Amino acid sequence: METPEKVTIVLVGAGNLATHLGKALVRAGYDILQVYSRTEDSARNLAGMLDAGYTTSAGRLVNDASLYIVSLKDSVVPELLPEITAGRERALFVHTSGSTPMDIWEGKAGRYGVLYPLQTFSKQRDVSFAEMPILLEASDQECYSVLETLAKKLSEKVLPATSEQRKYIHLSAVFACNFVNRMYAIGEKILREHGLPFELLLPLIDETARKVHELPPRLAQTGPAVRYDRNIIERHLELLSDHPGLREMYEQISKNIYNS
Amino acid sequence: METPEKVTIVLVGAGNLATHLGKALVRAGYDILQVYSRTEDSARNLAGMLDAGYTTSAGRLVNDASLYIVSLKDSVVPELLPEITAGRERALFVHTSGSTPMDIWEGKAGRYGVLYPLQTFSKQRDVSFAEMPILLEASDQECYSVLETLAKKLSEKVLPATSEQRKYIHLSAVFACNFVNRMYAIGEKILREHGLPFELLLPLIDETARKVHELPPRLAQTGPAVRYDRNIIERHLELLSDHPGLREMYEQISKNIYNS
Question: What is the DSSP secondary-structure string of A185-222?
Answer: HHHHHHHHHTT--GGGGHHHHHHHHHHTTTS-HHHH--
Contact list in B for residue A191 (CB cut-off 8 A) is 168-169, 172
B137 CB contacts (<8 Å, ≥6 apart)? B102, B113, B114, B144, B160, B161, B162, B163, B166
Cβ pair A26, A50 in contact under 8 A: yes
Helix (H) or strand (E) run with residue A251 in it: helix A244-258
Please tell me the number of Cα atoms within 13 Å of B243 on its side-chain side: 16
Cβ pair A48, A35 in contact under 8 A: no
Total residues found in chain B within this entry: 260
* A28 φ, ψ (degrees, to nearest 5): -80, 0
* B212 φ, ψ (degrees, to nearest 5): -80, 0
Q: What average pLDDT does the segment A20-48 reach? A: 97
Spatial distance between the Cα atoms of B169 and B189, rounded to a whole number of angstroms: 29
B19, B76, B127, B172: best mutation site toward chain A, by most A Cβ within 10 Å?
B172
* A109 φ, ψ (degrees, to nearest 5): -140, 155
Q: Give A 40-99 residues with CB within 8 A of chain B.
A: 73-75, 99
Whether the pLDDT of residue A78 is over 90: the answer is no
Residue A222 confidence (pLDDT) = 92
Residue A5 confidence (pLDDT) = 58
Total residues found in chain A within this entry: 260
- Assign A180 a pLDDT band (cuts: 50, 70, 90): very high
A140 CB contacts (<8 Å, ≥6 apart)? A111
Q: Which residue of B has its CA nearest to A199?
A: B213
- Answer with the residue of higher pLDDT: B124 or A53: A53
Residue B229 confidence (pLDDT) = 87
- Assign B1 a pLDDT band (cuts: 50, 70, 90): very low
A77 CB contacts (<8 Å, ≥6 apart)? A70, A95, A97, A100, A104
Spatial distance between the Cα atoms of A11 and A235, rounded to a whole number of angstroms: 52
- Assign A1 a pLDDT band (cuts: 50, 70, 90): very low
Alpha-carbon distance B217 to nearest alpha carbon in chain A (angstroms) = 5
Residue A210 confidence (pLDDT) = 97
Question: What is the DSSP secondary-structure string of A9-59?
Answer: EEEE--SHHHHHHHHHHHHTTPEEEEEE-SSHHHHHHHHHHHT-EEES-GG
In chain A, the percentage of residues whose pLDDT exceeds 90 is 90
Between A172, A190, A245, which is nearest B256 by CB?
A245
Whether the pLDDT of residue A52 is over 90: the answer is yes
In single-letter form, the type of residue at position A49 comes to M
A130 CB contacts (<8 Å, ≥6 apart)? A154, A155, A156
Residue B160 confidence (pLDDT) = 98
CA dihedral B36, B133, B184, A219 (to 10 degrees): -20
B224 CB contacts (<8 Å, ≥6 apart)? A99, A174, A178, B232, B233, B236, B254
Cβ pair B129, B155 in contact under 8 A: yes
Q: Considering chain A, what is the average pLDDT of its residues?
A: 94
Cα B41 to the center of its chain, rounded Å: 22
Q: What average pLDDT does the segment A195-223 reach? A: 96
ipTM of the complex: 0.93
Residue B5 confidence (pLDDT) = 57
- SS3 state at B29: coil
Contact list in A for residue B119 (CB cut-off 8 A) is 203-204, 207
What pLDDT digit, counting tens, does each position of B65-121 carry?
999 999 998 778 888 999 999 999 999 999 999 999 999 999 999 999 999 999 999
The alpha carbon dihedral of B23, B25, B27, B31 has a sign of negative
Please tell me the number of Cα atoms within 13 Å of A24 on its side-chain side: 22
pTM: 0.93
A100, A126, A164, A177: best mutation site toward chain B, by most B Cβ within 10 Å?
A177
- Assign A184 a pLDDT band (cuts: 50, 70, 90): very high
B164, B222, B227: best mutation site toward chain A, by most A Cβ within 10 Å?
B222
Q: Please, is B51 exposed, middle or buried when counting C-beta atoms within 10 Å of its C-beta (0-12, 13-18, 19+)? A: exposed
B163 CB contacts (<8 Å, ≥6 apart)? B101, B102, B103, B114, B137
Q: Give A 15-44 residues with CB within 8 A of chain B.
A: 16
- SS3 state at B152: helix
Whether the pLDDT of residue B3 is over 90: the answer is no
Cβ pair B66, B8 in contact under 8 A: yes
Q: Please, is A113 exposed, middle or buried when counting C-beta atoms within 10 Å of its C-beta (0-12, 13-18, 19+)? A: buried
- CB within 8 Å: B122 and A225: no
Q: Please, is A258 exposed, middle or buried when counting C-beta atoms within 10 Å of its C-beta (0-12, 13-18, 19+)? A: middle
Between B99, B184, B191, which is nearest A212 by CB?
B184
Spatial distance between the Cα atoms of A35 and A107, rounded to a whole number of angstroms: 25
Spatial distance between the Cα atoms of A181 and B214, rounded to a whole number of angstroms: 13
- SS3 state at B170: helix
Question: Closest Cα to residue B118, out of B101, B137, B135?
Answer: B135
Check if A194 contacts B (Cβ < 8 Å).
yes
Q: Please, is A93 exposed, middle or buried when counting C-beta atoms within 10 Å of its C-beta (0-12, 13-18, 19+)? A: buried
Between A169, A221, A239, which is nearest B167 by CB?
A239
Whether the pLDDT of residue B246 is over 90: the answer is yes
* Strand arrangement of the beta sheet that strand A111-117 belongs to: A53-55, A31-36, A8-12, A67-70, A92-95, A111-117, A134-138, A158-160
- CB within 8 Å: A222 and B181: yes
- Answer with the residue of higher pLDDT: A74 or A8: A8
What pLDDT digit, counting tens, does each position of B130-149 carry?
999 999 999 999 999 999 99
Question: Closest Cα to residue A244, out of B250, B256, B249?
Answer: B256
- CB within 8 Å: A181 and B208: yes
Cβ pair B183, A180 in contact under 8 A: yes
Cβ pair A136, A115 in contact under 8 A: yes
